[in-house]
Chain A
């Protein structure tokens, strides 16, 4: 094996990748106007946080971090089911997915 094959990656690199994914998720959450895309950027943020959990679990040599990720996945699945049902209900009444036109309280 050469030195490249044995090279290790600092945990900080994983964390920075997670930070990058998280901030892209935040930006997408703020900028996107489509309800479904906004929902997807929430999923992206959850995934970024999961990566930090796994990286820390690796660092501390414990599985607790991985169990956290497991629960986050389960809750994300439940959240996606309810969220998408709400989106379908909104689309039925408003015929649009643009968040600027779904300010129900004002109209």
Chain B
């Protein structure tokens, strides 16, 4: 079950990411990013983080990406064209990204025995709800960071309103 979920949704996530890279129109890229995020939500769930899976769907694919799609629709952004700068980026970008990938996977593969393997549903399922655990920690030990992030969001809302408002 775990393996099947990983193969299906990991494959879907990777395919979505590559589609984001290959598509020329921003709305297609945005939709493939949504696919990536939804399949990541399933992977989170299979790793025993069901609260994160839900908030991934609600926050990322339901709010942030809708916002992206909304802006693309509003600005009516067309297909992008190849330019000078992009050719330089091709020469640097692909080898660089490949190098990062090779380095990271080399490290992970060489440490794979120490990392162990996962079992479905996680470890907290039978003892206590994951959500209870997270919220207890958030509202006791991590209360200050929690409040600081809410102030950050407030500031971000104000900033966004100021930035996007038309000049008087």
Interfacial residues, chain A to chain B (CB-CB below 8 A): 4-17, 19-28, 30-34, 36-37, 39-41, 43-44, 47, 50-51, 54-55, 57-59, 61, 63-64, 66-67, 69-71, 73-82, 84-89, 91-92, 97-100
Contacts of A58 in B (CB 8 A): 47-49, 118, 122-123
Given the interface pairs A10-B115, A26-B93, the reply to whether A75 lies near B44 with Cβ below 8 Å is: no
Given the interface pairs A8-B119, A85-B159, A85-B164, the reply to whether A15 lies near B153 with Cβ below 8 Å is: no
Find out whether the CB atom of B68 lies under 8 angstroms from the CB atom of A36: yes
Select one of A34, A50, A71 contacting B149, CB under 8 A: A71
Contacts of A34 in B (CB 8 A): 26, 77, 80
Find out whether the CB atom of B67 lies under 8 angstroms from the CB atom of A81: yes
Interfacial residues, chain B to chain A (CB-CB below 8 A): 1-4, 6, 10, 13-14, 17-18, 20-21, 26, 29-30, 33, 36-37, 40, 43-44, 47-49, 51-52, 55-56, 59-60, 63-65, 67-68, 71-72, 74-75, 77, 80-86, 89-90, 92-94, 96-98, 100-101, 104-105, 108-109, 111-112, 115-119, 122-124, 130, 133-134, 137-138, 142, 145, 149, 152-153, 155-157, 159-161, 163-164, 166
- A96 to chain B minimum Cβ distance, whole angstroms, is 9
**Once bound together, how far apart are the Cα atoms of A57 and B53, in whole Å?**
14
Select one of A19, A24, A27, A37 contacting B26, CB under 8 A: A37
Find out whether the CB atom of B80 lies under 8 angstroms from the CB atom of A37: yes
Contacts of B159 in A (CB 8 A): 81-82, 85
Find out whether the CB atom of A85 lies under 8 angstroms from the CB atom of B160: yes
A-B contact pairs, 5 of them (CB 8 A): A15-B104, A19-B105, A31-B90, A40-B29, A51-B43
